[in-house]
């Protein structure tokens, strides 16, 4: 079901910025497995998958810090982060998959419109690109940026503003699509429109900072863009 708080003028949209985890792909299990591998390595008790999932969304350093209980020893956190990243690089595609309907939506947007698409994630750029390459998402994207591509992460608008500039698009011609309040706040901070997805990892946070439009299934995005039954515009 589509829930609209602020209508999006579909005809003026030129750019879609996609979040990755919880929006394009379900990466929950691989992230949880790598966190628990790190915890085993540190002789700490493992965490339930749903607990790890609640820590996802603010980048790998924050995921590790939260999983460790926010310790004050920065050297310890850095060492743990390095172990986590090494494990995750090797196992990032063990169970991660593209959400049902996403590939159809990407294909329809590419084939039936002039809208360009890019990924803006808080996940480090290496794994982000590796996942997009491995799951055939890269072919649809003009750019793939991660949490270490810029000096700040979402919800700071630096990455979104850079993508607007690189594509020669004004903020009111772009939409940020994501599953968390970070994505909504990024859009707000950049002056863009926002679409929240309820099927992702952080739907509860969308109640705190509601997007302009909320959708339950990827294919509803085509309806919003006027592409569900219409040819290239």
Return the active site residues.
19
| C-alpha–C-alpha distance, residues 33 and 48, integer Å | 10
| C-alpha–C-alpha distance, residues 162 and 146, integer Å | 13
Handedness of CA 160, 153, 146, 180 (dihedral sign): negative
Distance of CA 126 to the CA centre of its chain: 14
How many Cα atoms occupy the beta-carbon half-sphere of 72 within 13 Å?
A: 0
Say which residue the tokens 């690109």 belong to: 129
Tokens of 17: 């910025």
- Contact between 101 and 197 under an 8 Å Cβ cutoff? The reply is no
| C-alpha–C-alpha distance, residues 16 and 19, integer Å | 10
Residues 6+ apart with CB under 8 A from 217: 101, 199
DSSP H or E run through 227: none
- Contact between 186 and 155 under an 8 Å Cβ cutoff? The reply is yes
């Amino acid at each position: 079901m589509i829930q609209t708080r602020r209508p999006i003028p579909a005809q003026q949209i030129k750019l879609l910025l996609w979040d990755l985890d919880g929006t394009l792909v379900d990466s929950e299990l691989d992230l949880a497995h790598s966190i628990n591998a790190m915890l085993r390595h540190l002789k700490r008790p493992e965490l339930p998958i749903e607990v790890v999932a609640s820590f996802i969304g603010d980048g790998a350093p924050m995921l590790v810090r939260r999983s460790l209980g926010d310790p004050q020893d920065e050297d310890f956190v850095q060492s743990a982060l390095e172990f986590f990243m090494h494990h995750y690089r090797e196992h990032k595609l063990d169970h991660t998959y593209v959400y049902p309907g996403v590939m159809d939506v990407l294909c329809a947007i590419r084939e039936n419109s002039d809208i360009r698409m890019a990924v803006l994630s808080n996940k480090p750029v290496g794994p982000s690109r590796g996942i997009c390459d491995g799951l055939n998402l890269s072919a649809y994207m003009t750019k793939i940026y991660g949490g270490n591509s810029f000096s700040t992460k979402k919800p700071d608008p630096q990455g979104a503003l850079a993508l607007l500039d690189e594509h020669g698009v004004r903020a009111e011609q772009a939409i940020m699509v994501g599953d968390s309040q970070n994505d909504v706040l990024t859009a707000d901070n950049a002056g863009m429109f926002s679409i929240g997805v309820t099927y992702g990892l952080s739907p509860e946070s969308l109640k705190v900072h509601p997007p302009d439009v909320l959708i339950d299934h990827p294919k509803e995005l085509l309806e919003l863009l006027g592409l569900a039954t219409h040819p290239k515009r």
